[in-house]
Amino acid sequence: MRVKVDPDLCEANGFCESIAADIFELGDEDVVQIADGPVPPGREIDVRAAVEQCPRAALRIVD
C-alpha cells in the first residue's frame, strides 16, 4: 500500500501529520511530504484514517 498527495489540493494544515507523523511531514513545504516507499503494514490503519479525514481530500491510497 502506498499513499500519495495531490499538491493542488493539500493546504498543509498538518492534520495527517498529527495522525501519523512518521509517514506525513510538513517541514517548510507548502504541501505535505510523504515517506518514501510502501506504508509499513503496522501503519496502514492510521494512514487510512488520515486519508479519510483529510479535510481537503488531498490524499489517496494507490496500489
User: Which residues contact ligand SF4 by CB under 6 A?
Assistant: 5, 10-16, 24, 32, 54, 56, 58-59
Nearest-angstrom CA–CA distance, 48 and 62: 11
Minimum distance, C-beta of residue 41 to ligand SF4, in the bound complex (Å): 21
3-class DSSP assignment, residue 33:
strand
11 vs 22 by CB, closer to ligand SF4: 11
Nearest-angstrom CA–CA distance, 21 and 19: 6
Minimum distance, C-beta of residue 53 to ligand SF4, in the bound complex (Å): 7
6 vs 38 by CB, closer to ligand SF4: 6
Angle (nearest 5°) at CA 46 between 44 and 49: 110
